[in-house]
């Protein structure tokens, strides 16, 4: 018998693997939290599968998501990135990535780690929802509004409430697996 998965990923192997291995698994290390933050900001207005398919290209283009290097990118690097057909060539998002790397490091300085900062919003523990059908899961919540406002106040770009909620789902701050999904009780 095949495994029962959240309906949104079924039928695409890349999507299924991402769902099985990563989506909703709590992430506590800053490097991975930064990677998801960048991928989610590029996703704004597009589909997640579009970003996922380009993830390895992003990894190559953005120095393996090394925020210390990204924070130092200059205008010639931005021009290189805007010529890279393997990524999403959106000038505002590319520039925002540099700003976001800088703000990310400021938060590390202020809180000890970005992980500490972001997980404090849920008291360090994932919120476990009871989603029956994935389309019922919210696109954003009062909590993602709060986090979005705080991120923006600190200088982050492309962190609207919907982007933040998708980020919370991806990094396991919230468990939005369908209750019948084999991962619901595992993550
Ligand atoms: Zn699932």
**Token reading at 111:** 């809180």
Over residues 49-106, the pLDDT tens digits come to 999 999 999 999 999 999 999 999 999 999 999 999 999 999 999 999 999 999 999 9
- The reply to whether 78 falls in a domain is yes
Over residues 143-168, the pLDDT tens digits come to 999 999 999 999 999 999 999 999 99
Question: At 25, which CATH number?
Answer: 1.10.340.30
Distance 117 CA to ligand 1 centre (A): 26
40 is catalytic: yes
- Report residue 44's pLDDT band, with 50, 70 and 90 as the boundaries: confident
Identify which of 87, 41, 32 has the alpha carbon closest to the alpha carbon of residue 65.
32
Give the strand pairing for 174-175 and 127-128: parallel
- The reply to whether 184 falls in a domain is no
- The reply to whether 114 falls in a domain is yes
Q: Count of CB atoms within 10 A of residue 122's CB? A: 16
Catalytic residue among 48, 117, 119, 167: 48
Give residue 140's pLDDT: 96
Helix or strand (DSSP H, E) at 133: none
Distance 5 CA to ligand 1 centre (A): 5
- The reply to whether 52 falls in a domain is yes
- The reply to whether 116 falls in a domain is yes
- The reply to whether 46 falls in a domain is yes
- The reply to whether 182 falls in a domain is no
- The reply to whether 161 falls in a domain is yes
* Residue 45 belongs to domain spanning: 7-175
| Helices within the chain (DSSP H only) | 13-21, 30-43, 48-53, 55-61, 67-70, 75-83, 91-111, 114-119, 142-154, 161-170
- Number of domains comprising the chain: 1
75-83 and 91-111 helices, crossing angle to 10°: 130
Distance 17 CA to ligand 1 centre (A): 11
48 is catalytic: yes
Give residue 67's pLDDT: 98
């Amino acid at each position: 018998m095949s495994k029962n998965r959240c309906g949104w990923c079924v039928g695409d192997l890349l999507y299924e693997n991402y769902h099985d291995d990563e989506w909703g698994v709590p992430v506590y290390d800053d490097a991975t939290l930064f990677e998801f933050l960048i991928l989610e900001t590029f996703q704004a207005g597009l589909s997640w599968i579009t970003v996922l398919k380009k993830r390895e290209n992003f990894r190559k283009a953005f120095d393996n998501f090394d925020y210390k290097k990204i924070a130092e990118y200059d205008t010639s690097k931005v021009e290189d990135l805007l010529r890279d057909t393997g990524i999403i060539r959106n000038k505002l998002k590319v520039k925002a990535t540099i700003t976001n790397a800088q703000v990310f490091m400021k938060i590390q300085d202020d809180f000890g780690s970005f992980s500490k900062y972001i997980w404090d919003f849920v008291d360090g523990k994932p919120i476990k929802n009871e989603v029956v059908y994935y389309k019922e899961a919210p696109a954003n919540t009062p909590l993602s509004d709060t986090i979005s406002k705080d991120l923006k106040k600190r200088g982050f770009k492309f962190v609207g409430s919907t982007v933040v909620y998708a980020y919370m789902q991806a990094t396991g701050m919230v468990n939005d697996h369908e209750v019948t999904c084999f991962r619901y009780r595992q993550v």
